[in-house]
Structures are given as C-alpha cells and as structure tokens.
Amino acid sequence: MAIHEILIQQLFNGLLIGSFYGLVAIGYSMVYGIIKLLNFAHGDIYMLGAFSGLVFLSIVAPTIGAGWGSLILGMLISMLLVGLVGVFIQRVAYRPMLKAPRLSILITALAVSMILYNTIMLLSSGRFLPFRTEISTESFFLGPLRLTETRVVLIVAAFALMFIMHMFITKTMYGKAMRAISLDRDTCQLMGIDVYKIIALTFFVGSALAAAAGIMAGVYYGTIHFYMGFLIGLKAFTAAVIGGIGIIPGAMLGGLLLGLLEAFGTQIPFIGTVWKDVFSFAFLILFLIFKPNGLLGRSESERM
C-alpha cells in the first residue's frame, strides 16, 4: 500500500468512527443545550442500545434470521425502547433536580450511569458478548479503498441519521421549541411552550440516536460489553466540546473531526494505537484552552 492509499483508508476509517462519535455527541449536546446538564449516563444509553439490539436479534434470529432486515427492525425497536428509557430516566432522575444546583444534577447523572452499567453487568455476568449477524464480511475494493458491506451500510446509515436529525432541529416546530428552550427556558414557558414535554422529547431523540450508534458499533465490532459506553461517553463529550457544546451541527462536526484526528494521529510514527486516547483528550484540552466555545460556538459567560 502506498502512502496515499493508507491515507484514503484512514480517512474512511476516521469518518466511520467519527460518525459513531457524532451520533452519541448529538444527544450529549442537545441535553446540555436544553437543561445545561452534562449527561454522563449518555454513554451507558449507547451501551443499552447495543444490548437491546442483541436481545432483539437473538429472539428473532431463529425465525427471520439476522440479516439486514431484522437488523433494521431491531434498530428501530431498540431506538424506541431506549428512547423511552431515556425519557423515564429524565422523569425520575433529572426532572426533580432541575431547580437544584447544577452540581447536584451532575452527580445524579453519574449515579444513573453507575446504575445502568452495573445492572447490565449483573445481567450479562460481566462478560463480553458476541454480536452475531449474518451479514457478509467479504471485503471488496473501491479504487484503493477496502470496504465491506457492513462498513458501507453503517456509514450511510449514520450520515442519514445525522441528516434527519439536522432537518428535525432546523425545520420542525419541535426543533424550534428545543432551540428556543436552550436560549431561555423561562421565557419559553411564559410563551406557552410545554417545556417539560420538550425536555422529555429531547431525551427521547438523544437516547434513540445513541441506541442506534450502539447497535451499529455492535455490528461493526462484533463484540459488546457492559462498560463499552464509558469511553465513548468521554469521546462524545470531547466531540461535543470541540464542535461547541449545545450546538447540534457542532456535535456532528466535532465527532467527525475527532474520528479523523484519531485515525490520522495513530498513523504518525511513534504515536501508535496506544496513544490514541491521549491524542484525542490532548485535543480536548487544547480546545478548552484556546477555543473553549468550540468550532461553532458563540461566547457565553457561564459554563460547567
């Protein structure tokens, strides 16, 4: 492989990983935008999505198989279920804390995260579980680029979800309400917007996207684990900060950028795979120092 072929391959790898980060980061960013909460449980929602997808697949696999059809069905059902879990968590854990000091709700989010992953740890006996599908893993070439069916479908699906999300935020009344609440919650309430309903909707959408990313990661890597959400939660947070936290297109952009940074960073001599996370979190620190509002962010006086 010549150097340009490596670069093209890594570009694709970076975009694929970046689109997972982006999908998770959207939820992170939306929740921050609307209630100023860094939802540390968001990574575990992603993990929950992967596990519910696996459960669905293992139920339907004997009858209708585990091809793309059942996978898409499983993804939709998991998005719905996990979205509802997100709404439920919001209702019982976060809503009572909305008027409390911000630190309290942050700690609540940590507790929710622990409850989620410990529950799944007990249910899965803490083991790594194989995520089996019947999708072909044969690879083919597109120019110098080596692809598999899975990779192509996943990247298309991830970008489609991001696009749908973008349209939802910018073109619908609900999206408009979300943006309005993130600007000024009290005024929105005075203007007759059902703020709690919109907050619940935000959690539903954010959790559903994270669940979709979780299933996609399960299909892509073939293994899932109760702790898989921890690192991606941190990465999504990083992506959200890079893009400008609270800003939806920023989260997508930040995710993609982070994916690319990692893919190319690990190809630099002496920065092997082991330094990948150091590399991305070092970028987070640089961003926090030099551009704390992120790529697309406006300046704001108060941040967590």
Partner 1 sequence: MFNLKTHWLLLLVAVLFAFAAFGCGEEAADPVDDDPAEDPADEAEFEGEVLIGIMVPTTGSEAADGTDMENAALLAVEEINEAGGVMGHRVITTTGDDGCDPSMATAAASQLVSEEVVALVGGYCSGATLPTLAIYGEAGIPFVIAASNATSLIDENPGWGFMINSTGLDQAATAVAKFQELGVETIGVMDSGDAYSADLKEQTILQWEEAGYEVVADDTVQRGEVDFSAFVTTIMSTQPDGIYWTGYQAEGALLIRQLREGGYEGVIMVGDGSSAQELIDLAGDEAEGVLCTGPPLTDFLPAAQNFIQRYEESFPREPGAYAALTYDAARLLFDAMERAGSFDSAEIRDALEATDGFEGLAGPISFTDQNTLARSNFVILEARDGRWALVE
The binding site for partner 1 (CB under 8 A) comprises 1, 5-6, 9-10, 13, 17, 101, 127-128, 130, 132, 137, 139, 146, 148, 150, 217, 221-223, 225, 227-228, 231, 262-263, 266-267, 272-274, 276-277
The answer to whether 223 and 128 have CB atoms below 8 angstroms apart is: yes
Token pair 């684990």: residue: 225
Q: Enumerate residues 6+ apart whose C-beta is below 8 A from 168.
A: 174, 175, 205
Cβ–Cβ < 8 Å for 221, 142: no
Q: How far is the CB of 239 from partner 1 (least distance, A)?
A: 15
SS3 291: coil
Distance of CA 301 to the CA centre of its chain: 27
Distance of closest approach, residue 84 Cβ to partner 1, in angstroms = 27
- Nearer to partner 1 (CB atom), residue 280 or residue 293: 280
Question: Is 58 or 148 the residue whose CB approaches partner 1 more closely?
Answer: 148
Measured from the CB atom, is 99 or 127 closer to partner 1? 127
Please spell the DSSP secondary structure of 176-221, one letter per residue.
HHHHHHHH-HHHHHHTT--HHHHHHHHHHHHHHHHHHHHHHHHHHH
Residues 6+ apart with CB under 8 A from 193: 177, 180, 181
Residue with tokens 């943006």: 179
Question: In terms of CB distance, is 37 or 228 closer to partner 1?
Answer: 228
Find the shortest distance in angstroms from Cβ 6 to partner 1.
5
* Smallest separation, CB 229 to partner 1 (Å): 11
Cβ-based nearer residue to partner 1, 42 or 225: 225
CB of 142 to partner 1, least distance (A): 13
CA distance 141 to 292: 41
Rounded CA-CA distance 224/257 in Å is 25
Minimum CB distance to partner 1, residue 128 (Å):
5
* Residue 169, CA distances (Å) to 163, 193, 277 in order: 10, 16, 31
Q: Residue 86 or 259: which CB sits closer to partner 1?
A: 259
Strands (E) located in the chain:
129-130, 139-142, 145-148, 223-224
Q: What are the φ and ψ backbone dihedral angles of 223, each rounded to 5 degrees?
A: -140, 135
* Of residues 110 and 231, the one with the C-beta less far from partner 1: 231
CA distance 190 to 180: 12
Least spacing, CB of residue 47 vs partner 1, in Å:
12
